[in-house]
Amino acid sequence: MALPDYETLMLPLLEIAGKAGGQEIKLSEAVDTLAKHFNLTEEQLAELLPSGATFKFASRVSWARTYLNKAVLLDSPKRGYLRLTARGEKVLSEPPPKLDNKFLARFKEFKEFQGRKKATEEEGTLSKETPIEAMSSFYQQYREALAFDLIERIKKCSPQFFERLVIQVLIQMGYGGSVKDAGEALGKTGDGGIDGVIREDKLGLDNIYVQAKRWIDKPVGSPDIDQFAGALSKKKANKGIFITTSTFTKDAQTSLKEYTSRIVLIDGVQLANYMIDYNVGVSVMDIFALKKIDSDFFEENL
């Protein structure tokens, strides 16, 4: 089954707290119990939020706990723990068919948390994503759109500009020493399937050979990778990077294991994402700092 959303987790989480008989329980233990309750696989439990900052299922349980806290069905006696309240016990005495935002909106504290003076039917149509997931999803959508626009802009530029772009990306990723060193190396060899060579590190302990193809629609196939691998073999090189604005065929990707040299393939989407990650060709438009309470700050030394 798919990962349950945070509203689906509310009632089972409240029931887990109810079975504790008024005792506090660890949130991490509740996460494990809920994972078994929903028969989740290891792969599902390892699924991350788009940001990669935390596990999606554990985050959803945490948000279910937060919403139940705001409705005063649970409380948090200390960090990382939860406990059933008298109101939560009353709800469990006659459990609703479904425990969700619409149900919680009957409680004044939850309505204040939601920032509404009056609960309406809109609560029942809210997104099933947690706020963190919604923010991460919107960010991912924006990032994908930005990457697409970057690829389209690159395809309209000259091959010479593309070579300089490749240099900038590799330099920002920590390769090539300096822009001057990389600029002198890349685009200079013109040897078979090799466009240039760049330092692996700033000390120049090893070289990486580069092939850069600014192709519009045609995908890079295995013959192109074969040519590049052959050129690497002639150079007795063991590392190469093949970068394109296009894509790689399945055969091209499969052929990598046949070569003695280690070859890394970077397609247009990956290149655009590296540009975003390392601030090449993009600029910061705005910054939103997502903050949480620093629990250690509020620990009193008695």
Segment 129-164, tens digit of pLDDT:
888 888 888 888 788 889 988 998 898 888 888 888
147's torsion region: left (phi>0), alpha (psi -120 to 50) or beta? alpha
Q: What are phi and psi of 15, to 5 degrees?
A: -65, -35
Determine which of 90-94, 104-108, 285-289 has the lowest per-residue pLDDT on average.
285-289
User: How far is residue 134 from each of residues 49, 91, 260, 280, measured CA to CA in Å?
Assistant: 10, 29, 45, 27
In the structure encoding, which two tokens stand for residue 85, read together?
């309240």
Cα-based angle 46, 51, 52 (whole degrees, multiple of 5): 30
**207-248 pLDDT, tens per residue?**
888 888 898 888 999 999 999 998 888 888 888 999 999 999
Most confident of 162-166, 174-178, 183-187, 285-289: 162-166
Average pLDDT over residues 170-182: 73
Helix (H) or strand (E) holding 14: helix 6-19
What CATH architecture applies to the domain 146-277? 3-Layer(aba) Sandwich (3.40)
Of residues 284, 271, 50, 278, the one with CA closest to residue 152 = 271
Domain ranges in the chain are: 6-128, 146-277
pLDDT > 70 fraction of the chain, expressed in percent and rounded: 86
pLDDT (0 to 100) of residue 278: 94
pLDDT (0 to 100) of residue 249: 94
Domain 6-128 indexed as CATH 2.30.180: no
- Say if residue 186's pLDDT is above 60: no
Of residues 240, 301, 299, 287, the one with CA closest to residue 78 = 299
pLDDT (0 to 100) of residue 127: 60
Q: What are phi and psi of 73, to 5 degrees?
A: -90, -25
**47-102 pLDDT, tens per residue?**
988 767 789 999 999 999 999 999 999 998 888 899 999 999 999 999 999 999 99
Task: Work out the burial of residue 125: count CB atoms within 10 Å of its CB; fewer than 13 is exposed, 13-18 middle, 19 or more buried.
Answer: exposed
- Say if residue 109's pLDDT is above 50: yes
- Say if residue 194's pLDDT is above 60: yes
- Contact indicator for 150, 157 with CB cutoff of 8 Å: no
